[in-house]
Amino acid sequence: MNFEFTDEQKLFADQVRRFAVAALEKGALKRAHESGFPFDVAKLMSAQGLMGITLAQADGGQGGTLMDAVIAIEQIAAVCPRSADVVQFGNFGPIRTFAEYGTGAQKARWLPDLLAGRMVLSLGMTEPDAGSAVTDLTTSARPDGSSFLVNGTKVFSTFSPDAAIFLIYVRYGPGLGGIGSLIVERGTPGFSIGQPSSFMSGEQWCELHFENCSVPAGNVLLGPGGFKKQMASFNVERLGNSARALALGRYAYNTARAYATTREQFGRPLCEFQGLQWKFAEMAIKLESAQLLLYRAAVNADRGLPSAYETALAKAACNQTGFEVANDSIQVMGAFGYSRETLVEYCMRRTRGWMIAGGSIEILKNRIAEHVFDRRFDQRKRHADAAE
Ligand SMILES: Cc1cc2nc3c(=O)[nH]c(=O)nc-3n(C[C@H](O)[C@H](O)[C@H](O)COP(=O)(O)OP(=O)(O)OC[C@H]3O[C@@H](n4cnc5c(N)ncnc54)[C@H](O)[C@@H]3O)c2cc1C
């Protein structure tokens, strides 16, 4: 067992950090308060080889590992927290599911623009009545000649105000086995996009409505029975979410640490008060332990798909740590930490959302408990007759 980066990983981390300092440090504060997808950053990252790190070279990717992509998020977020969203998009998000299961024709049509930072893809999974219970989704796809007629509503989709294409989870038939997904292009007749609403983080999302929206059969990503495959590759998205949460917590911690060495009260720097020293010690314990869980899940997955259990441990730990550390960092910095002069308050607001998104902490703990007891706990209400 070796807890050190390899020489190649050290070199890669150093290259990414130098790129981030040169291209992204200026404007980091302003960028965090802009709601749209930062296409300018995506184009810069594409030129730098930071989009598609884990995708096969045949697909226009870099053929790297998940751990490389985690390193990229850490190094970018340490300089510009908001730009880490682009690393997430280009390496961990629905693009990864798309590259995993898309046909040659689908990939040839959309991957070049996605990887070049010219186009963004949004994931439509959640519905008004299907959040954590995602398998309750009702958006339907009914065969209609050489097309499918899609009907239903999706909510909370990240990047939906800017996306040109949408990866939509649909129901082809009843039950778990009836779920799959397809790609819908913005502008398709029958597909309407509502007015943007804002999350606490400042990110925006739009309701997506499908009313007899005719989608060509060639846009089917996964047919009936595709749900398990989708969830397996969704664990990659969860690791990106974990890496960002931890990196933003660390960003806040580093800012607070520097502040505590220079800000003086009662004639002494803040870092000399034991009450704050213990806060920093606790933050360090949380950051270091969550990082080990994240690295283990990423390294064990290598180029494949991560284990659901290791991902659940990593995401729950990183989400909780990212938020708690960012929150404590605000406390250490007093009113300055609570103001928009630094990105510490942004890190707190942003990490809060990841405790809900992409598998809430509670749902992850359910998954972990199943591993602990080596049995499945059905979360569904039992029907009265079955319960008797
Ligand atoms: C920042 C952000 C970005 C998002 N991006 C996307 C996106 O791109 N695409 C997309 O489709 N969706 C997206 N979502 C939606 C996200 O997937 C859902 O919010 C999530 O699945 C939870 O669903 P819900 O909000 O409806 O909460 P609910 O499912 O209604 O849950 C409410 C609360 O009850 C808890 N709970 C529910 N069931 C159980 C249980 N069995 N045991 C214990 N506790 C339980 C939950 O953990 C939560 O705390 C995003 C959400 C956020 C916050």
Q: How many CA atoms lie within 13 A of 180 on its CB side?
A: 21
- Strand 268-269 with 264-265, pairing: antiparallel
Integer Cα distance of 388 and 187 in angstroms: 51
For 86-133, the three-class secondary structure string (H helix, E strand, C coil) is: HHHHHHCCHHHHHHHHCCHHHHHHHHHHHHCCCCCEEEECCECCECCC
CA distance 58 to 294: 28
Q: Whose CA is nearest to atom 6 of ligand 1?
A: 157
Q: Is 207 helix (H, G, I), strand (E, B) or coil?
A: coil
Q: What is the CA radius of gyration of the chain?
A: 21
**Ligand 1 center to 137 CA (angstroms):** 13
Which SS3 state, helix, strand or coil, does residue 182 take? Answer: strand
Q: Is the pLDDT of residue 388 over 60?
A: no
3-state secondary structure (DSSP) of residue 173: coil
The pair of three-digit structure tokens given for residue 54, joined into one six-digit string = 């884990």
Mutate to test the pocket of ligand 1, among 199, 356, 367 (most ligand atoms within 8 A of CB): 356
- Residue whose structure tokens are 């942004």: 346
Give pLDDT, residue 304. Answer: 74
Encode pLDDT of 244-258 as tens digits.
999 999 999 999 999
Can you tell me the distance from the alpha carbon of 344 to that of 323, in angstroms, rounded to the nearest whole number?
Answer: 11
Q: Region 120-147: what's the mean pLDDT? A: 97
Contacts of 326 (CB under 8 A, 6+ apart): 248, 249, 252, 253, 344, 347, 348, 350, 351
Query: Which of 388, 39, 376 shows the shortest CA–CA distance to 176?
Result: 376
Residue 126 CA, closest ligand 1 atom number:
11
| pLDDT for 154 beyond 60 | yes
Residue-wise pLDDT tens digits, 162-219: 999 999 999 999 999 999 999 999 999 999 999 999 999 999 999 999 999 999 999 9
Return the best residue to mutate from 92, 126, 207 for the ligand 1 pocket (most ligand atoms within 8 A of CB): 126
pLDDT, tens digit (0-9, with 9 covering 90-100), for 281-318: 999 999 999 999 999 999 999 767 899 999 999 999 99
What atom in ligand 1 is closest to the CA of residue 122? 8
The answer to whether residue 386 scores a pLDDT higher than 70 is no
Buried b (16+ CB within 10 A) or exposed e, 183-204: bbeeebeebebeeeeebebebb
Rounded to whole angstroms, what are the CA distances from 93 to 54, 124, 183, 257?
11, 12, 15, 32
Q: Residue written as tokens 């495959």?
A: 229
What does the pLDDT look like over 63-121, one tens digit per residue? 999 999 999 999 999 999 999 999 999 999 899 999 999 999 999 999 999 999 999 99
Cβ-Cβ contacts under 8 Å for 309 (sequence gap 6 or more): 367, 368, 371
Q: Smallest Cα–Cα separation from 121: which of 174, 56, 186?
A: 186
Nearest C-alpha neighbor of 47 from the set 119, 117, 120, 121: 117
Task: Return the pLDDT at 371.
Answer: 97
Scan for tokens 């990106």, then name that residue. Answer: 240
Which backbone phi and psi does 126 adopt, to 5 degrees?
-70, 145
Q: Closest Cα partner for 343 from 275, 247, 273?
A: 247
Residues with CB under 6 Å of ligand 1 are 123-126, 131-132, 156-158, 199, 353, 356-358, 360, 362-363, 366, 379
Q: Return the ligand 1 atom nearest residue 354 CA.
A: 1
**pLDDT score, position 217:** 98
CA angle 173, 178, 183 (to 5 degrees): 95
Q: φ and ψ at 354, to 5 degrees?
A: -75, -10
Give, as one character, the DSSP assignment of residue 81.
G
Q: Is the pLDDT of residue 243 over 80?
A: yes
From CA 363, how far away is CA 379, in angstroms rounded? 10
Kindly give the number of the ligand 1 atom that is closest to the alpha carbon of 361. 47
Ligand 1: atom nearest CA of 94 is: 8
Asked if 21 and 13 touch (Cβ cutoff 8 Å), the reply is no
Residue 379 Cα to ligand 1 middle (Å): 15
Ligand 1 centroid to 362 CA: how many Å? 10
